[in-house]
Amino acid sequence: MSVEFKLPDLGEGIHEGEIIEVLVAVGDTVEDGQPILVVETDKATTEVPSPVTGKVVEILVKAGDDVKVGQVLMIFSTGAEGGTGRPAVEAAAVKAAETAAEPEVAALASREAQREAGRVAQAATEARQPTERMGPVPAAPSTRRLARELGVDLRRVTPSGPGGRVSAEDVRAFAARGVETALESEAPPAPGREIPLAPAVISRVEVEDHARWGPVERVPLRSVRRATARHMALAWSQIPHVAHQDVADITDLEAFRRRHKAGVEEQGGALSLTVFALKAAVAALKAFPRFNASLDTATEEIVLKHYYHIAIAVDSDRGLVVPVIRDVDGKSITELAVELRGLAERTREGKTQVEDLQGGSFTLTNIGVLGGTGFNPIINFPQVAILGLAQARWQPVVRGRQEPFDVVPRLMLPLILGFDHRVVDGADAARFLNRVKEGLEDPEKLLLV
């Protein structure tokens, strides 16, 4: 019996990926659960297991190909009697769900069977499915969250999932169509018409043919780079960005760091400036909780988060990746130094898992090691603020309130706070950054956070 193997659901919010490596060849015999492909998504690099025991008859992808969930990747021969195509997929998926040793494999197979069965029912009801629906709309929690973030009413979305279930792709497509309608008119809202809290998302814009003017080269936008581009476009289009800047005198902090650097390294950590910035940020977030929040545009509510999971921007060969350190408020300087070092190493090696990249409530980005006196960081949507650190430099600083003044060398660190002006105001940002400065300028205070 021939069995089509399709790219399974790899986790919440992941709907496509890039084939990094094909681990089998045509003619190979594979076991149920044996890794057959390595797929890189915008979240992580994942080994994809075979759902059946059988022989590889055909491989439809190669390294470098972009694939989507549900796309046929391979065809197997199981040696069992029966037909081909979808019935074979259903039988294989149900069997895998019942007998797979790994829960993840069982879950993937079960979802595949549910999708196949649902498509049959959906085809019969699609024609009479109204555009506007009343009552609860079938959709996953992640899809509902995406709809809220994009300002999309699920009742107006035509579903493509089994049993009339709305998928994340349905929501994105609806949002993109809304952009086309919005761009048709540049007229301001009529008097009394409510202006939405979140604008529509522009997905694609036509560009000119650059080859008219000379030689060009086209490089595919793949995996992490593509995910970053999409996320940045979403963040910039949805959030009214404002930046507040200041400088912190970290002369004493640097002396403290150098004194304790070796001791922390003996325990497996790296006592970097980012570690201290994490603690200073938590102190400020506790004092000003609206910076540790998200804006729910659907319900017009500010969601205040009572946890402190800080995302850290990490530069890697794959592109910008933003893993999360959880419960920063409950960890010591040394514990953070050890965890941050390990997390950064896993990120650069492409070994982060999906859960490593989820659940951040605030983001910290430090480009100081690369130079620069300042920059304008983009907020990590759907968060409402981001703290950026530029390069610390020795500068002459004037001390004293009246003559004769003293001019002394001090190590000064540029700080940039990007914030969502829908949720917080400029005065709030100044107070927040002042609190961060207090922590960085007084190392002993950080030990109390």
Q: Are 284 and 291 in contact (CB under 8 A)?
A: yes
* Residues 278, 284: Cα–Cα separation, whole Å: 10
Give all strands (DSSP E) within 211-344, no chain letters.
241-249, 293-296, 301-304, 310-312, 314-316, 319-321, 324-325
Is 421 known to be catalytic? yes
Distances (CA, A) of 99 to 33, 107, 110, 114, 438: 10, 11, 11, 17, 58
- DSSP category for residue 166: B
- DSSP category for residue 127: G
3-state SS track over 182-244: HHCCCCCCCCCCCCCCCCCCCCCCCCCCHHHCCCCCCCCCCHHHHHHHHHHHHHHHHCCEEEE
* Residues 433, 248: Cα–Cα separation, whole Å: 10
* Residues 38, 46: Cα–Cα separation, whole Å: 6
Across the beta sheet with 72-77, what order do the strands follow?
A: 2-6, 72-77, 54-59, 29-30
Token pair recorded at residue 53: 């025991």
* Residues 39, 376: Cα–Cα separation, whole Å: 33
Handedness of CA 204, 208, 209, 214 (dihedral sign): negative
Q: What are phi and psi of 156, to 5 degrees?
A: -95, 0
Among the listed residues 15, 241, 309, 421, the single catalytic one is 421
Q: List the catalytic residues.
A: 421
